[in-house]
Copies of this chain bind each other. A is one copy, B any other.
């Protein structure tokens, strides 16, 4: 009635299995709007210069820098106000020597101007002239075209998860479609005469099938697509037909039940009949999970989990999940506060509580928080940010190596 299983350690099982099948990552092209949470399968380069034109960083006046040279609090330079340009408007007015244009944050620089005087450093005299009390140098308070990122430069590297902050960076650079790793399609089947689905009446001898829906749900949480294909009875012909169909339709098939060495445990026999090489591993040296089956049929893997629900789910997480993670490149999420050593001295302006975005890494076992560039390049560096820490009010400087609490954005922890 029973013959003992030839048990293997998980490492032995994986090693033997890899001779017949290895997870491979396939890619697909999707619209950026559908790509949130997916993993990039290639570097993404910017379609545009960012910013796409010279922009004013502040509300103020667009000027020729040389016209303001020598301007001081007590000795302002007076400029003729030629008009106004708001964010979103096209630059249609050109300014000449000793002229200026009122400009709002984000507005394009008008022709002829090369710097912006902040509104705080100006006033208007009775004649309507703009009095500039502070000299500016060329390009001062201007965010130059392409200074964040030039057209064709890499925005994000392959294998990065498209977190909200990566998503934002991709959109900013005009990305329409991205290549991502394809989610494996997994077919899930429950096997057992005693199983009924949750909508059925529970007659004596029957229990609800929980493995099918539960494994199916766990597969989805790991970033794969899953279809729960229902319950099969302990009947060889039906099992051959349905499991064979599932192996044709899906990338991976996961069954539960019928894997022991009992009289109605037909799965090994069924698999043997479906195609080569068939059963590769039957029996793991672990508990629970001893009657686990790993098979390959015509290049498709089939994982036969034990029928007992606790065992099934634990074997799923331990044996199957790593393959799914590797195929979908789905990485774990973490949204916590972590301590990290600051990589370099970081300053803050007085009277401010400053949030400093950082990227996290490890060095000699220590977690390192590297503050990201502010100002120019910040939008793209945001895609590298794992979180931020706070320089509290009243503190103006934090030293290299100080320990900071990093609030994670929800990205992966390195």
Please give the residue numbers on chain A whose beta carbons come within 8 Å of chain B beta carbons, in ascending order: 1-2, 9-10, 32-33, 36-37, 48, 51-53, 59, 86-91, 104-108, 119-120, 163-165, 167-169, 171-172, 174, 176, 192-195, 198, 202-211, 213-215, 217-218, 220-222, 233-234, 260, 262-264, 285-289, 307, 309-310, 313-314, 317-318, 332-336, 348-349, 351-355, 357, 378-379, 382, 388, 390, 393, 407, 409-410, 413
A-B contact pairs, 23 of them (CB 8 A): A2-B59, A2-B120, A9-B393, A33-B198, A33-B213, A51-B207, A86-B234, A87-B264, A104-B263, A105-B307, A108-B204, A108-B205, A164-B215, A164-B217, A168-B211, A176-B198, A285-B351, A285-B393, A313-B409, A318-B355, A332-B333, A334-B336, A336-B413
Name the residue on B nearest A172 (C-beta). Answer: B210
Q: Kindly list the 5 A-B residue pairs having the minimum CB-CB distance in the complex, ordered from nearest.
A: A88-B193, A168-B214, A88-B194, A164-B218, A332-B335
Using CB atoms, name the residue of chain B closest to A288.
B355
Measured CB to CB, the closest approach of chain B to A61, in angstroms, equals: 11
**Contact for A105 among B36, B108, B260, B378, CB less than 8 A:** B260
A116 to B120 Cα, complex, angstroms: 89
Chain B residues positioned under 8 Å from A203 (CB to CB):
90
Q: Are A355 and B287 CB-contacts (below 8 A) given A59-B2, A88-B206, A379-B310?
A: yes
Contacts A104-B264, A168-B313, A171-B210 known; 6 new A-B pairs at CB < 8 A: A48-B202, A52-B206, A88-B234, A91-B204, A287-B352, A310-B379
Q: Which residues of B contact A37 (CB under 8 A)?
A: 221
The verdict on A9 contacting B353 (CB below 8 Å), with A1-B59, A204-B108, A206-B88 known, is yes
Residue numbers in B under 8 Å from A264 (CB-CB): 86-87, 104
